[in-house]
Structure 1
Amino acid sequence: MRLHRNLVLAVIESLSQIFNQNKQADKIVAITLKQDKRWGARDRSFVAETIYEIVRWKRLYAKLAEIEIAFENDKYSTQNLVQLFSVWAILNEIELPNWEEFEGINYDKETIKEEYNKLSQIRKYKESIPDWLDNLGKQELGDEIWTKEIAALNNQAPVVLRANTLKTSVEKLQKQLSEQNIETEKVTDYLEAVQLLKRKSIVRNALYKDGFFEIQDASSQLIAHFLDLENDEENTSKKGLQIIDTCAGAGGKSLHIASLLQNKGQITAMDIYENKLIELRKRANRADVHNIKTYCIKRKNNKVDNSQFKQFYNSADRVLIDAPCSGLGVLSRNPDAKWKLNLEFLEEIKQTQQTVLQEYSKMTKKGGKLVYATCSILPSENQNQVEIFLNSENGKDFKFIEDRKILSHQTGFDGFYMAILQKM
């Protein structure tokens, strides 16, 4: 592979923003890919994939590069970033260029590879994770499962689409994509999911812009089905179903619910961020979804004003709490989260999870069902939170029905948790 200077410098500048300015990798990649219209598909692929690979293996590469830095907090100099890139190039059998930026880089290839083989015997280096995360994963999941799971979460995430059944079917969508030389396969046991056989950016595709599909991981697509919409004794026609999606974000799950309901019933999508709800409304319009109304949760002094929820108490047939979480189940698509998370944040997020469970559960009417979900693999964020809730005053009227623990090493998709409870 012949390296091009403008592409390599774009990678290094992007890494600086991700590591030193705490910017989100996906947003930086999106911005970087727009900076030169002359870049072709191969150029764009090189930039995006190289950024993500160095972010994913940062600790391992830093160790191989002999960079003495406290990787959680300290800043990386431009020279450090060039060193990381150099290690990446050596491990990928790419000759380092004779550019001024690489002056003084004289790593011995065989030494790097020998050290790589040694470090690959130590999980925290092999999987490139902080000590605290390695200890926590082992503590919560056990050594054997954690070893398998963190390895799976370091794989590149597949591109999975959800066919919008309000406008098409899985079979029709596959045919339409195939006509554009985009080959897909159905995902077994996931009713609306198709997976690209070859990774590519698809957000500019006309079928996407016209709302025929959404980009949504297969595990995430399970949640709308888990709401058990098909089994509602009082609303067999679905026309009267009242659904509240309490942490809707930009609405991926709300849109899926709407398609399952065939635009019947009423979905209230809530979030604390108005900009996300604006995006949800745009997506709904594109998808021909007409049964979603949005509600921006009001805050005072950066705290949620719970009094506003009284109007929703005991009103919903289904309440979905897709709770804020560590996101450890989606490291394959957000590898930079490994370097942004810490134990203090985890403790804070667990308090938030219990707070939203306690408050938003009140919206469930008698006989209605509540689904608590996260994209985390940690029991402390998942089944432990459900158990705490059920043993609380607000949880005494709910009964546990079932839960699902989805691990990436078992499915190849994101790690998720979901539990369904019924209000008696």
Structure 2
Amino acid sequence: MKLHKNLVFTVIDSLVMIFNDGDYADKVVAKALKKDNRWGSKDRKFIAETIYEIVRWKRLYAEIAEVKEPFSREDLWRIFAVWATLRGILLPDWKQFKNTPTRRIKGRFDELSKIRKFRESIPDWIDEVGVKELGEEIWNKEIAAQNQQAHVVLRVNNLKTTKSKLRAVLMDENIETYSDEKYPNALILKERANVFITKAFKEGWFEVQDASSQKVAPLLDIQPGMRVVDTCAGAGGKTLHIADIMQNKGQIIAMDLYESKQKQLKIRAKRNGVFNIEYRIIDSTKIIKKLHEKADRVLIDAPCSGLGVLKRNPDSKWKLQPEFLDEIRKTQEEILNSYSKIVKPGGKLVYATCSILPSENEKQIEKFLKTDFGKNFKFIKDEKVLAHKSGFDGFYMCLLERLE
């Protein structure tokens, strides 16, 4: 592979924004890809994948390069040189690469790869939490799986098309997909591609949604005509899946704290041909109280640490702090206690997170079922999805039923 200066400089500029300015990697990458309209797909692929790779392996590369944060531009060039050397890329005769110790880089990599926190490039505290909650054996496998590149998975919108039709249309645009019988509405891309520019996406034939996430809405056991409340809807990936299952019949109430998220959902719903969603901003406890015992089904897709989706958001492990984990557990507990009151007697509730930690998942359910109000519910089933077993995101989902 030949390195091109304009592409490498764009990578370095982007890393400054992510590491030093605290910007989110996905937004930085999106901005970087718009920098020069003369770039072809290979150029854009190089920029996006290189940024994400260096973000993913920051701790390992920085240790090999012997640099510490905040990184100077010179430090970032050293980190880039580590990335390139470990991939067998010949460094060009640029001043930024002068005196790069290629042999030492490979030796240090072999040495550090024996230590998990460097090998898997994670903060000490996350490594400690992972071992404490999952045990050495499972954590070893899971954190290694979380460092693999995430699949691009589509969820077919059955309101507008079928899986076979969508697959054929994408094939016409040279996007090859395959399916997995465990995920009936999923199409998985054989190679990464920008699916958002396809005609099929613009016409609402699919949404991008990981296969693990696609398991959540069906667990609610929804029937068309029901009243379903999605309490933490966000931009609405699962809301739209619920609408698909309901065949646009019945009522979905999509709730969130942020109006900006609901604006995104409204745009997506229109594209998907979904018209049975009612939008509500949670600006006071009154919004929740008005819905007490009014819903047949309630989804609590709770805020969480996101430790099940590190492969998709590698920069989050550098932003996450131990105190946030403590705070989010309290928030999950409060949300579960409050929003569960929306379920009417005989109705069902699904609690879900994109975390793999029992303290955010099974233990929250155990604690809830022991509360005065939680005793009104019975445990039906749950599922813990681990990335090293599924190949997709780490997820947890639990189905509870409110007693009559």
1:355 aligns with 2:348: no
Match in the other structure for 2:279: 294
Amino acid at match of 1:77: S
**In structure 1, C-alpha distance between the alignment counterparts of 2:153 and 2:129, rounded to whole Å:** 29
- What is the deviation of 1:307? 2.6
Match in the other structure for 1:233: none
Match in the other structure for 1:127: 120
Amino acid at match of 2:78: Q
**In structure 2, C-alpha distance between the alignment counterparts of 1:182 and 1:14, rounded to whole Å:** 28
Match in the other structure for 1:228: 221
- Provide the secondary structure at the position in 1 that maps to 2:356: coil
Match in the other structure for 1:63: 63
TM-score, length-normalised on structure 2? Answer: 0.98
Equivalences for residues 24-423 of structure 1 within 5 A: 24-67=24-67, 69=68, 74-102=69-97, 105-230=98-223, 238-239=224-225, 241-298=226-283, 305-423=284-402
**In structure 2, C-alpha distance between the alignment counterparts of 1:188 and 1:339, rounded to whole Å:** 35
Q: Does the 8 Å CA contact 1:271/1:277 hold for their aligned counterparts?
A: yes
**In structure 2, C-alpha distance between the alignment counterparts of 1:35 and 1:267, rounded to whole Å:** 40
Instruction: Render the CA deviation track for 1:163-204: whole Å, top value 9, x for unaligned.
Output: 100011111111111122211101221010010111111111
- Provide the secondary structure at the position in 2 that maps to 1:181: coil
Instruction: Render the CA deviation track for 1:91-150: whole Å, top value 9, x for unaligned.
Output: 111122323333xx4232222112211211111111000111111101100000000000
- What is the deviation of 1:414? 0.2
Aligned residues: percent identity? 56
- Provide the secondary structure at the position in 2 that maps to 1:329: coil
Instruction: Give unpaired runs (5+ residues) of structure 1.
Output: 231-237, 299-304
Match in the other structure for 1:5: 5
Q: Does the 8 Å CA contact 1:33/1:47 hold for their aligned counterparts?
A: yes
- Provide the secondary structure at the position in 2 that maps to 1:400: strand
Instruction: Render the CA deviation track for 1:362-408: whole Å, top value 9, x for unaligned.
Output: 10000000100000000000011111111112212111111100000
Instruction: Render the CA deviation track for 1:323-378: whole Å, top value 9, x for unaligned.
Output: 00000100001000110111101001111111111111110000000100000000
**In structure 1, C-alpha distance between the alignment counterparts of 2:222 and 2:254, rounded to whole Å:** 17
- Provide the secondary structure at the position in 1 that maps to 2:10: helix
**In structure 1, C-alpha distance between the alignment counterparts of 2:139 and 2:87, rounded to whole Å:** 27
- Provide the secondary structure at the position in 2 that maps to 1:267: strand
Amino acid at match of 2:399: I
- What is the deviation of 1:308? 2.6
- Provide the secondary structure at the position in 1 that maps to 2:229: strand
Instruction: Render the CA deviation track for 1:34-87: whole Å, top value 9, x for unaligned.
Output: 1111111000000000000000000100111111x2xxxx41111111111010
Amino acid at match of 2:321: N
Match in the other structure for 1:234: none
- Provide the secondary structure at the position in 2 that maps to 1:330: coil
- What is the deviation of 1:206? 1.2
**In structure 2, C-alpha distance between the alignment counterparts of 1:283 and 1:66, rounded to whole Å:** 45
**In structure 2, C-alpha distance between the alignment counterparts of 1:373 and 1:44, rounded to whole Å:** 35
Amino acid at match of 2:143: I
Instruction: Give unpaired runs (5+ residues) of structure 2.
Output: none
**In structure 2, C-alpha distance between the alignment counterparts of 1:111 and 1:349, rounded to whole Å:** 42
Moved more, 354-363 or 387-396: 387-396
Q: Does the 8 Å CA contact 1:138/1:146 hold for their aligned counterparts?
A: yes
Amino acid at match of 1:99: W
**In structure 1, C-alpha distance between the alignment counterparts of 2:275 and 2:355, rounded to whole Å:** 31
Q: CA RMSD in A?
A: 1.0
Q: Does the 8 Å CA contact 1:56/1:128 hold for their aligned counterparts?
A: yes
Amino acid at match of 2:369: L
TM-score, length-normalised on structure 1? Answer: 0.94
**In structure 1, C-alpha distance between the alignment counterparts of 2:249 and 2:64, rounded to whole Å:** 57
**In structure 1, C-alpha distance between the alignment counterparts of 2:253 and 2:394, rounded to whole Å:** 26
Q: Does the 8 Å CA contact 1:149/1:409 hold for their aligned counterparts?
A: yes
Q: Does the 8 Å CA contact 1:306/1:359 hold for their aligned counterparts?
A: no
Amino acid at match of 1:327: G
Amino acid at match of 1:343: P
- Provide the secondary structure at the position in 1 that maps to 2:212: helix
Q: Does the 8 Å CA contact 1:330/1:376 hold for their aligned counterparts?
A: yes
